[in-house]
Amino acid sequence: MPSKPKVPGLVTGLGVTMKTLLTTLKEGSVTVEYPHEKEEPPTRARGVIALKSENCTVCMLCSRSCPDWCIYIEGHKEKAPPRREGGKPRTVAALDRFDIDYALCMYCGICVEVCPFDALFWSPEFEYSEFHIANLLHDETRLNEWMETVPDHLPYEAGSEAKVKKVPR
């Protein structure tokens, strides 16, 4: 038992709940009726990872840095025409397979951070639940489709020297 009952604190507590009740009655609740009404997630929300295949060089950095090993990449070397006339044909890496298993992914975002070629992006989309767990393995086509939902990067704070990168579309 506390030495003395703290009456002012108790009254304050009642006031807080009453104020919330009145605010909710007047302005509506902070929650939304989800299936009928979709909540707008923040721009930087970690919903799903989108892939820009053209930028991927099959360097495997994302796959190797993934704590869950949920990114599967396969690729092969290809000869590409030389950049200048008369030059040697270049060797480029072609992507055969790029899968992310969202049943394993823990949304840490290390792959997005580590990608040096701007091939991976966060998208705030979150509605991709499945009835079968195997369907949570998104293949390259599906990951590419998520690119449409990637929002532009937010501007930096006022007075910043650095320029905001553009999301490749």
Q: What residues line the site for another protein (CB under 8 A)?
A: 1, 5, 10, 13-14, 16-18, 20-21, 23-25, 29-31, 33
Minimum distance between the CB of residue 3 and another protein, rounded to whole angstroms? 12
Q: For the chain, where are the E strands, in sequence order?
A: 48-51, 71-80, 90-101, 120-123, 137-138
Please identify, using beta-carbon distances, which residue of 25 and 134 lies nearer to another protein.
25
Contact 93, 75 (CB under 8 A): yes
Please identify, using beta-carbon distances, which residue of 34 and 131 lies nearer to another protein.
34
Of residues 46, 167, 156, 155, the one with CA closest to residue 111: 46
Of residues 115, 29, 28, 4, the one with CA closest to residue 66: 115
Minimum distance between the CB of residue 10 and another protein, rounded to whole angstroms? 7
Minimum distance between the CB of residue 44 and another protein, rounded to whole angstroms? 24
Please identify, using beta-carbon distances, which residue of 16 and 162 lies nearer to another protein.
16
